[in-house]
Structure 1
């Protein structure tokens, strides 16, 4: 069955859908606030090897400094094609885009300085395989920057939530179990959790 992320009409409307529907109705925040948090975290990242998982249509191009080496992955070639256009328009020189399964990462061990994943980790079915692979390809001192929908205190959900990572406590326990230091960002927004995980010696 064809994925919705490979349907041309949906992909073309994806950015508008996220801005007008998903962020205000499901995440209880705005895309501007979301991008502002990411920009603040990425503004001092320069000359690094960066991997983005589930890169989608490439919104990270708006907040990542252009002097980084960037690889964007996703399961949808249509979305990656849009992402490629955005990164080129922003002036990035060292970029690549690949179809990849986030739970079965084939990259070289201890290669990336920074791995980014926005909003998509809740979709990763084999979440333990994902974190294990993440640890393998991060260099010592490297970091993982993530935003992910979580369950609220009232238990209500407006979005698909992976129960294995439904709360900040569950997410922290998962990453610590695989040897990664965990830190929530000071700035948070809506029904999303923003955090970093570090590979420490």
Structure 2
């Protein structure tokens, strides 16, 4: 899948994770919100703290919703923003061609192992910022972003990049906490947008916006199509 990289992009690979090289020939480095030293705790934190205590939701229900939404995605070129530790193996068919991106090498290393353990043959992983993706135009059929949209500094830049790298009428599937569903009043990190605000941002960047009808704590599930 290296042919999807922009012309001139250079990478080195370590333990299945691709690092983009800067103009100085050194791997680009980003600052993960949790820090790579905590990557081994990520799944435990999500399962035991974030879902019940912050989101007021259920992890099992979360995965069921995504399984239903992505059940017909087969043989597609799938891009994931903020791959994390590789939870997509729980709801994405192994027959797809998968490209995972994240700013945390530690989490991507975990994702590599998880994807390999389930027999996901076509999977590549890149340490990169979602605001400047290293891929050619129209490289993907589906883009997903699960529980991470609120951590992007500039959502408009991210959506411009997503629109560039996906094909016409491709779908963007997302799960993100929104304030109007936060009945626990939890403090949720990142830039939290309401559903109305998200709809406006997506529309201004050339996407349709459709809520997926389901309830799971503070999480909003939606799909957006490039038009």
Structure 2 length as normaliser, TM-score?
0.82
More helix by proportion, 1 or 2? 1
Aligned equivalents of 1:124 and 1:13: distance in 2? 22
- Structure 1 distance, partners of 2:77, 2:181, is 37
1:144 corresponds to: 172
Residue 189 of structure 2 is matched in structure 1 by 160
Contact 1:151 1:157 in 2 (8 A): no
Contact kept? 2:207, 2:224, Cα under 8 Å: yes
Q: State the Cα distance separating 1:199 from its structure 2 match.
A: 1.0
- The structural deviation recorded for 1:2 is 6.3
Is 1:6 aligned with 2:36?
yes
SS in 1 for 2:73: coil
Residue 152 of structure 1 aligns to a residue whose secondary structure is helix
Please, which runs of 5 or more residues in structure 1 have no aligned partner?
none
Deviations 1:42-90, CA, capped at 9 Å, x for gaps: 1110000001110000011111000000001111111101101111111
Question: Residue 43 of structure 1: which of 68, 71, 79 is its match?
Answer: 71
Once the two structures are superposed, residues 134-156 of structure 1 have per-residue CA deviations (whole angstroms, 9 ceiling, x without a partner) of 11111011010101111126883
Of 103-112 and 70-79, more deviation after overlay is shown by 103-112
- Deviation track 1:176-198 (CA, whole Å, cap 9, x = no partner) reads 11111110101231101111110
Structure 1 position 54 matched with structure 2 position 103: no
Unaligned runs of 5+ in 2: 1-29
- Kindly name which structure, 1 or 2, has the bigger radius of gyration based on alpha carbons: 2
Q: Quick one: which of 3, 16, 32 aligns to 2:44?
A: 16
Q: Could you state the TM-score of these two structures normalised by the residue count of structure 1?
A: 0.92
Could you tell me whether the CA contact under 8 Å between 2:31 and 2:103 is conserved in 1? no
How far, CA to CA, are the matches of 1:41 and 1:146 in structure 2? 10
Aligned to 2:19: none
Is the Cα–Cα contact under 8 Å of residues 182 and 217 in structure 2 kept in the other structure? no
Q: Is 1:193 paired with 2:223?
A: no
1:182 is aligned to 2:209: yes
User: Hey, what's the Cα distance between the residues in 1 that align with 2:39 and 2:182?
Assistant: 33
In angstroms, what is the RMSD of aligned CA positions?
Answer: 1.7
Q: Secondary structure at the match of 1:142?
A: strand
